[in-house]
Amino acid sequence: MSLRLSATTPETPTEATDGTWLECIECAESYAPFEDVRYTCDECNGLLEVRYDEPPTFDEFEGEGVWRYDAALPLESGVTTQEGATPLYEVPRLEESVGVEALRIKHEGMNPTGSFKDRGMTVGVAVARKLGVDRLACASTGNTSAALAAYGSRADMETLVLLPAGKVAAGKVAQASLHGARILEVDGNFDACLDVVQELAERGEAYLLNSLNPFRLEGQKTIGLEILEGFQADYGVWPDRIVLPVGNAGNTAALYKAFRELVQADELEPEDVPKLTGVQAEGAAPMVEAIENDADEVRRWEEVETRATAIRIGNPVNAPKALPGIRETGGTAVSVTDGEITEAQRDLATEGVGVEPASAASVAGLRKLRTEGVVGDDERVACLTTGHLLKDPDAAAAAGNDPEPVPADTKGVLEHLEN
């Protein structure tokens, strides 16, 4: 295993506050965490990461939900609606048909606003409050906007969301709308929205809560911590592999960071770190391209298309954090067709697990990798399903059964059922 996954103790810089600081992943420049608003390195524009002088240990975790893991977070409490503690479902028929030793579904759609984004927002919005900013903003394929709107309103702050016009599922727009965000419908794709909102943030117009924000990813680490604890509780072992849908690659980066910190704390052996396995839609697969070509950088795709609108992203901003995560854990990345995504969405639905299309990509990807022999039949696997079925009611209705019109009398209904 590589150096990054080794147990080395970081040196605490003078900029640290209570043992916490921000560090550039490229040039290692360090910054005080809560003094100025900063998303990237002043010196080299590299991505920033939150660092701690004391990595977390399992015995420090107590309570339920994201804040159970405060020892792994930059604050002790946040703006909360009881996010986290999501189910790790057994899916015996799917496990059998995919053909692995064990398959569990970590259903992040069971969070308060119906996606994993809540885990990042409970931390990110609390940091925003600590920094004293008054306006929050994000670009979004939908779920981030729903979570930001909810957590922003809970914190009594103004929120601004930039959405690609016509490409956001109905449930998500409805959430952002009712929670009181100002919704700017941009004539362009998600990547264009992110370009604009980054410029607004750089001009000080708003505090950016996309996954470029290092504090948000701290909250998302708790997905990985819950999966590890869940596998230990149920099987007494760590999972061999975690399969997840990839858009901006924030979760991939966050899970990798969670595991690295446990390795640092001697809580997890480097060889026990689950293989991070990313799945993208064929029409938006720049990370898969980079993994397949063994490239150091990800090429931005200008044209992207997929029914899984949540991951309709051509420029994964967290790639510099996520590519090493996939490579150093021995994972991989794979793309799937929209048809395979819909099939997987139906498969999950037959087990009673309702997810939006992007989420089903994880299961579609696992099936493909199992068929190709990349995933072994002896593996214990967790698939991450990132958003709830009701996020995208149109996709669910299109993938499911059509309603059958019947007359309003029992005889007529019985006749219809016999036909």
CB nearer ligand F0G, residue 311 or residue 395: 311
- Cα separation, 284 vs 305, whole angstroms: 6
Q: How far is the CB of 11 from ligand F0G (least distance, A)?
A: 30
- Cα separation, 243 vs 135, whole angstroms: 35
DSSP 329-398: TT-EEEEE-HHHHHHHHHHHHHTT--B-HHHHHHHHHHHHHHHTTSS-TT-EEEEEE-BBGGG-HHHHHH
Residue written as token pair 């849908």: 245
Q: How far is the CB of 250 from ligand F0G (least distance, A)?
A: 3
CB nearer ligand F0G, residue 115 or residue 264: 115
Amino acid identity at 335: S
CB nearer ligand F0G, residue 16 or residue 137: 137
Q: How far is the CB of 358 from ligand F0G (least distance, A)?
A: 4
Q: How far is the CB of 368 from ligand F0G (least distance, A)?
A: 17
What ranges make up the beta strands (E) of 42-153? Answer: 48-52, 88-90, 102-107, 135-139
C-alpha pair distances (Å), 72 with each of 211, 376, 402: 18, 32, 46
Whether the Cβ atoms of residue 322 and residue 249 lie closer than 8 Å to each other: yes
Q: How far is the CB of 356 from ligand F0G (least distance, A)?
A: 6
Residue written as token pair 């009673």: 352
Which residues make up the interface to ligand F0G (CB under 6 A)? 115, 140-144, 211, 245-251, 310-311, 356, 358-359, 386-387
C-alpha pair distances (Å), 77 with each of 118, 262, 292: 14, 21, 41
- Cα separation, 132 vs 305, whole angstroms: 38
Q: How far is the CB of 148 from ligand F0G (least distance, A)?
A: 9
CB nearer ligand F0G, residue 251 or residue 264: 251
Q: How far is the CB of 212 from ligand F0G (least distance, A)?
A: 10
CB nearer ligand F0G, residue 30 or residue 86: 86
Neighbours of 140 (CB within 10 A): 30
CB nearer ligand F0G, residue 91 or residue 147: 147
CB nearer ligand F0G, residue 71 or residue 255: 255
Neighbours of 129 (CB within 10 A): 18
CB nearer ligand F0G, residue 33 or residue 286: 286
Q: How far is the CB of 92 from ligand F0G (least distance, A)?
A: 25
SS3 of 328, please? helix
